[in-house]
Amino acid sequence: MKAIGYTHFGGPEVLRVLELPEPHAGPGQVRVRVQAAAVSPADTAARSGWMKRNYAPETLPGGRYPEPPYVPGWDFCGVLDEAPDSSPLGPGQQVVGLALSPMGKVGAYAEYVVTDARSVVRAPTNATTVAASTLLMNAVTAYAMLEALAIPTGGTVAVTGAAGALGGYAVQLAKHGGLQVIADAADDDRELVQGLGADVVVGRGEGLADRIREAFPDGVDGVADAALYTDAVVAAIRDGGAATSARQHVGSSERSIRWHVVSVDQHTTRTDVLSTLRDLAEAGTLSLRVADTLPAEQAAEAHRRLEAGGLRGRLVLTW
């Protein structure tokens, strides 16, 4: 089969078309004929070698980083064509899912992807294949970040990077969960972030914590830090509050602030959560935002555009 991958770490130029053996589903697995795969920061982090440098060996399958070739890609939408008899989904059904490996070893930039049967659910019926492929990676991450913060209904949460895919889902899920949301945005993105449901929108960049404190003098109950302000956002949190960061940063515990490490690969088999997120997308509670669509062979260009910044929504590769 054709896949887009790399055999050594580097910039977007290392991505190329690979010819790989066609995979088949094993016990407890499904195979999907991929039609669309979203491009996420996790893909560029794996391709650059960031994941190999930053993941402790004991956290990896087999205790070591896998050998090449690597095929990136987490999110996908396509047609199920191999499934166990016990699966509630059958061949021919349109599905969305998450790939098996967080290290870019067997990802979704391929004509076929084999993954855990629990990591695939029916696709949203009211979304295009391209749009549906953008849902799960970022929505699951946002869900897990808010779950870790465990802010009671009516509490306050600050979401950074609110105009991006991860931050946008965090805003929408927080509002759905009954929280007050303060979010950051550039001037050009203020209307977008307000439309996502943020109660208060403040300017992004240096001094963010001070601006959050102006709106909430006692500090917010927690921060979902999608924009990687890391320690710079601590001053916005009340004593005893909580924080979680998109890149698993653990910062200062001053004033009894708790940092929660969220790794999306620990949540990919939570079929009930995947189904809930799909239902929220169908209901319009979660917005599926596509920045652009490119042929799979142009994955390197997609990575360049993602790393350049400024995208509002996800780039999607199609076969």
119 and 142 assigned to the same domain:
no
- For residue 21, the SS3 value is coil
pLDDT for the residue numbered 240: 97
pLDDT, tens digit (0-9, with 9 covering 90-100), for 51-89 = 888 776 666 667 788 889 999 999 999 999 999 888 899
pLDDT for the residue numbered 102: 58
Greater confidence, 110 or 102? 110
In this prediction the pTM is 0.94
Confidence of residue 103 (pLDDT cuts 50, 70, 90): low
20 and 36 assigned to the same domain:
yes
- CA–CA gap between residue 65 and residue 38 (Å, rounded): 23
171 and 240 assigned to the same domain:
yes
49 and 113 assigned to the same domain:
yes
At 207, list the tokens. 């001094």
- CA–CA gap between residue 267 and residue 232 (Å, rounded): 28
99 and 146 assigned to the same domain:
no
Does some domain include residue 57?
A: yes
Name the one residue in this structure whose structure tokens are 């659910």. Answer: 121
Mean pLDDT, residues 235-249 taken together: 93
Is 90 exceeded by the pLDDT of residue 15?
yes
pLDDT for the residue numbered 172: 98
Does some domain include residue 276?
A: no
CATH number of the domain at 124, please: 3.90.180.10
Q: How many domains does the chain have?
A: 2
pLDDT for the residue numbered 267: 94
Does some domain include residue 151?
A: yes
Burial of residue 249 (number of CB atoms within 10 Å: 0-12, 13-18, 19+): middle
Does some domain include residue 269?
A: no
User: What residues does 292 pair with on adjacent strands?
Assistant: 315
pLDDT for the residue numbered 52: 85
Range(s) of the domain holding residue 183:
138-264
99 and 37 assigned to the same domain:
yes
Mean pLDDT in the chain? 94
pLDDT, tens digit (0-9, with 9 covering 90-100), for 148-200 = 999 999 999 999 999 999 999 999 999 999 999 999 999 999 999 999 999 99
pLDDT, tens digit (0-9, with 9 covering 90-100), for 21-59 = 999 999 999 999 999 999 999 999 999 998 888 776 666
- CA–CA gap between residue 197 and residue 238 (Å, rounded): 23
Does some domain include residue 283?
A: no
Mean pLDDT, residues 96-120 taken together: 90
Q: Say if CB 256 and CB 239 are below 8 A apart.
A: yes
- CA–CA gap between residue 64 and residue 53 (Å, rounded): 12
pLDDT for the residue numbered 140: 97
Mean pLDDT, residues 300-313 taken together: 95
Does some domain include residue 203?
A: yes
